[in-house]
Chains A and B, each alone.
Chain A
């Protein structure tokens, strides 16, 4: 989906309750044009025109491959990697005499590696296919030719079919709703699979089709739908129904989308409009943008280095080979006559030594190919998948309340989690719960509500217990809250305590009429749906946003109970303030002017039972105050003051206003509005906004609501830990500055000792300029002002740096408007400089686009790894822009999760995700890659040294099969175990010492020095292996019976040393030895001997040089074993000594922590702080788990 649209569209468009009644003559200009060409013949399967259209069937396939194209397509995917291409070319060339070894021995490892990856692909695809098959074979009832409904499989549905869907069934395709079990043709739909929202949405059929209630009436139903072509826009639909000679406009209101579910409705009838891949949900199925981790990108560079090394040594070898070959035959004289240089194939021909050298170069490229680890990619992929499983299975990241474990949606970014330098976080729903509680309100200039918010409590703490709560009428707090709490149960979303207006007491307040109007607005101006519990008669609400639910609940609790909604009316149980009795009142609903992020307000127009036309409006203060009538500003000053105080207390405020409309005025406006609404032109939205703007004027201010968004559990602690881990956190929020700042304090993002640098454009001169309305002047002034403020910020920081040793930390707070200017090219740099010098940054009032822009700026400017975390659709851009996007699977739907790389249920799990899993994965992957290069360099260079001793003729030092099994059997499993299981310190210590995380941020474990160090270690090992073995075994007899070590024996001895050396190197470099590591490491070594015995006992025509080489020749020789011991210890010594010196003189962070753990373990088995040893804790947890299982 294109990002821009996703951000701006609001879901309320899914269910506007407007009624379209009037004419549409000129509306469908676009129908039939390009993009609007679809024609559906309803319930007319034999129509010849319908048959001609040949729309796709309802068969759906989400698989990447089909049986036919699997092999070529997956092979193509495989060979997009440079290394694999190289190995493929090698495999082909190895069939020529150029090859230093048998072709099969090259082919088999390649086949194993490619095969493993292909099997993985195939399994994944098979799973997808199984899902497809399940979906395609679901049953649905289709209206057949014999005028009854017959069960059919989903995949057999065709466009134009009439289907009947029952309660709790999924819609098999995109349907046009004709009628439902309800008389007025409405139905409820759950769109969980589409957008993750669990609340029900109302759909309603056209009045013209809603009487089609039974199978007989359907018999005569024939209609034609002309509509838009298939597209991925979930939130719009344009079409026309031609039925009974009339045209009816269709909107999303009549569409039932595939993969959503029918709820609370017995059955519906619908016509299939889009099938299979044409459905909106399938059109939406796109893969998230693929991201690669920094380590992998660096790894590519290392591969290139290895390739160049390969070319260099191959070239050097060829030169020497050419020279040697050339010398073999000159002037009719043969030098090395035993090679018959006089009669030679081109590969060794001294007369054409140059060509021989070039051909030899190719041979050498193949021979030294062992420098490139063929199994690296596949091993890394396997390891990452296993790591992801560990993330998904982590019990400590499971959130019980929503029953959601953590989910690694992409596995290729695991190690990036360990290198996060900066977190960009959304606020609402990410730091906070996004469960809104109505806590305060201000009506007619009087503030109501005694509840204390978390922010207020944090503020109180901050002021060292000074009991200043920022509260407006705090005198009655104590006794009233106590009373209220004991007398009534707590209600979700409602935390309002004020007996002045509760329980109907509001009638006695001075401005009771205003209070009545205020509560009425809360009860009417929304898009919630009441759900009546049949047994208890209690009413709950399905609302678009938690804010809205909070308002409706508040209205209910205060005596204005909204209990029924039809397409044209809203009914309330209302407290009549004159009689004090409850009466039912029905408001006729005329229009809904929807909420959007640009409008920042929503309104409804209703006709009251007294036939008064009312416009009820609620919205952001900035949007409402400028629309107030002159005589509607009676309480403006007090209200503004209250808004300010509420914002300070971390509350979200909405201003409530209303207006009475004249009939004439409304009629005139309605005509225009309906016309605009029915139009299909591109500018429709803008036109509607403009018209809405015209009527939403001259409002009368009623009051302000204040809703608290509670901080999520553990957020301050988590932020504190992350800060200790050296991670900088920026908060990007759409909230007001005061709210944002206070939340900042509440979640310890801002601390008391921090100095605040505020950049905003709220200065009086700019406001004055804005009133004059000269655009150029405003821009200039703004830019100048911001530049000045940034400079001031710099000077503050510099002063602090120079001034005292106790460097004060800085917090930067910037508002959206300033941000817009700051992100302009010429200011970008200096703004950014300032921002990274501050410990915390809060951007308030920022739009989704700005969020994404800031993310990009940070990512590009620092070049460091950024992580964005958010929960809503407005964070999608940010999540995709950042190196890693983490979605909070919370209340606001699944968009963020769908666009994310990792999904967690609570912000606090970020701590474990980064500090534990991130750190481990980073460590594992970087060690694994380093080790991979080490082991292949060790091996590859022994070949090179041997070449140097056979005049670079291209003879491998080892038997072909030893070599091809090197990467596959003798060294692969331990390195995978390293990548999956190794941990430097336990999870508990990772969390206890967050500074450990800096190893990843500073990229210590994958720095060039470390990589080159490992490579050098490999080189050194190869030198030790080759020269020690040759010098001690050759030329004297190596056995008591006088036999000398020949080519075969030397090969086996060297190979034994290599296998031992690389496996022991692994053993001394890992930190964590479970039985798995032991099995893999020692098993690999043992397997080498077993292999040698087995391979050596098959017929010599197959085993060639390996025939009985261990049993007869090596094993009886003590020299062979002594050489192995010497060489292995010598290869390990450099690394071991280096590590010994390092831990002693320049310990790394994990060394220190390991040491500490050891000390504390020795001192007291059970820590004084009550921390139990790991085993005990594991046992405890296990017991607890069993207990829980038994209970449930």
Chain B
């Protein structure tokens, strides 16, 4: 900063006093401000691309195989019964049949095709039932379910909030439309198969969302009856069917746990199901299915995940191969300087 500083002729009157106070405005050096932090700079080199694809393939194909095996391990019996359980004479107007009071017992026979290990989970599956409709989902009172003193917190439950001026517990559309088909199983004509309905709900629901001292009151007392009734002497935290039902499903096709059969079922066992076909899915043409299923480490039977893994793994393998071939057949120096020439388009526009 010495020899040729100020370009004008100024010898700077009054520069002496400012020199002392003036500090250099030179920016301080730090790797951060100079944007020179140590960094890794990934580049899509052939090697990287191929190994990335290969890696995915190598990881995905075994997972796919394993999940597919797990899924195939599961034995599942599905019985669709919503039409068969209606007497032939009433099949023209199913809605009327289901809405008419009376005994609607129906019996179904299932054959076990493969050995089923306990526990065997019993599900009912509904189709075209919009448990995820916003009006439906919001129509409940969590406070009321938990707290015996909040029985009157029913603002969200309309129109199933009150009956004759008294609050309904549990209120709301979800509880009101509780599924009420029942199943009784017996094996080979004679041997009854008990269904364990304990522990079919989430523990946290039982313990923290449904009160031990909250009892159903005024439930299903209104003129328009929905689904199942509840025993007013059992606290909500033990009404597991209700708890399961109140966990709304994500999609209009869903299964819900009905109970567990805690014995093994042998191949060719014939299971008789006596069911009470009470629930109205007919007005919205929904299907009803009864499902018996074992589980694997992955859960139930669904090949989708395994197939997806295999497909993606295969695709990646194919891409890896394709890239390898391309690089082998036509290796090109990517550092081709002709790409950098600014003369490529004269005039520069």
Contact = CB atoms under 8 A, between A and B. Distances in A.
A394 B30 CA distance: 10
B9 interface: yes
A586 B254 CA distance: 109
Contacts of B13: 188, 200, 263-264, 531, 542
A444 B249 CA distance: 104
Given A168-B17, A1155-B43, A1113 B312 contact: no
B135 A395 contact: no
B159 A343 contact: yes
A1076 B36 contact: no
Interface string A388-403: 0110111100101111
Contacts of B224: 340
A199 interface: yes
23 contacts: A264-B14, A339-B135, A348-B135, A401-B5, A405-B27, A492-B9, A546-B9, A553-B9, A998-B342, A1037-B300, A1038-B299, A1040-B295, A1071-B41, A1073-B40, A1074-B37, A1099-B208, A1136-B52, A1144-B46, A1149-B339, A1151-B44, A1152-B336, A1152-B339, A1159-B333
A428 to B, nearest CB: 12
A728 B298 CA distance: 64
B293 interface: yes
A1079 interface: no
Across the A-B interface, the 3 shortest Cβ-Cβ residue pairs:
A1036-B300, A435-B7, A540-B11
B76 to A, nearest CB: 8
A405 B26 CA distance: 6
Contact of A726 (B299, B301, B348): B348
A1144 B346 contact: no
Nearest to A710: B7
Interface stretch (B80-88, B125-133, B187-195, B212-220): B125-133
B190 to A, nearest CB: 27
The DSSP consensus for interface residues of chain B is: loop
Interface stretch (A131-139, A459-467, A647-655, A1104-1112): A1104-1112
A263 B45 CA distance: 66
A1071 B35 CA distance: 14
A955 B45 contact: no
B312 A1112 contact: no
A1036 B38 contact: no
A158 to B, nearest CB: 30
Nearest to A538: B11
Given A1036-B293, A1140-B323, 20 more contacts: A390-B35, A531-B10, A550-B9, A726-B349, A891-B7, A987-B35, A1035-B253, A1035-B254, A1042-B260, A1073-B39, A1122-B309, A1130-B312, A1133-B56, A1133-B312, A1136-B52, A1152-B336, A1155-B334, A1156-B335, A1158-B45, A1159-B333
A1100 B255 CA distance: 24
A394 B25 CA distance: 11
A338 B142 contact: no
B204 interface: yes
Interface residues of B, number: 121
B255 A1030 contact: no
B305 interface: yes
A249 interface: no
B298 A1048 contact: no
B312 A334 contact: no
B43 A398 contact: no
A724 B344 CA distance: 11
B230 interface: no
B100 interface: no
A992 to B, nearest CB: 10
A1101 B143 contact: yes
B34 A395 contact: yes
Given A953-B133, A995-B342, A1181 B17 contact: no
A802 interface: no
Nearest to B45: A1158
Contacts of B304: 1031-1032
Nearest to B280: A337
B155 to A, nearest CB: 11
Given A390-B33, A398-B26, A725 B342 contact: yes
Interface string A829-841: 0000000110100
A141 interface: no
Interface centre among A542, A1030, A1037 (most CB of B within 10 A): A1037
B340 to A, nearest CB: 5
Nearest to B31: A1178
Contacts of A531: 10-11, 13
Interface in A337-368: 337-340, 343-345, 347-348
A994 B255 CA distance: 63
B110 interface: no
B342 A1112 contact: no
A950 B340 contact: no
B114 interface: no
Interface centre among B27, B95, B301 (most CB of A within 10 A): B27
B236 to A, nearest CB: 14
A159 B304 CA distance: 86
B112 interface: no
Nearest to B125: A1035
B9 A543 contact: yes
A1001 B254 CA distance: 55
A1072 interface: yes
Contacts of B315: 1133
Given A333-B95, A955-B132, A1119-B298, A1034 B253 contact: yes
B44 A1139 contact: yes
Contact of B29 (A100, A200, A955, A1181): A1181
Contact of B45 (A542, A1035, A1155): A1155
B177 interface: yes
Nearest to B246: A1046
Contacts of B200: 1042
Nearest to A548: B9
Interface in A185-200: 188, 190, 198-200
A610 interface: no
A62 interface: no
A995 B296 CA distance: 59
A746 B3 CA distance: 25
A1129 B60 CA distance: 10
A684 interface: no
A1152 B252 contact: no
A592 interface: no
Contacts of B134: 100, 950, 953-955
A128 interface: no
A339 B26 contact: no
Contacts of A335: 283-284
B39 to A, nearest CB: 4
A1143 B334 contact: yes
A493 interface: yes
Nearest to B147: A1101
Given A264-B13, A1158-B43, A1158-B45, A1040 B249 contact: no
B106 interface: no
B284 A336 contact: yes
A1048 B349 CA distance: 55
A822 B331 CA distance: 54
B319 A1137 contact: yes
Given A546-B9, A1119-B298, A1074 B25 contact: no
Interface in A1101-1142: 1101, 1104, 1107-1108, 1112-1113, 1117-1119, 1122-1123, 1125-1126, 1129-1130, 1133, 1136-1137, 1139-1140
A1152 B295 CA distance: 53
B234 interface: no
Contacts of A541: 9-10
A1035 B249 CA distance: 9
Interface string A944-969: 00000111011100000000000000
A1048 B247 contact: yes
Contact of A1119 (B43, B226, B305): B305
A546 B253 contact: no
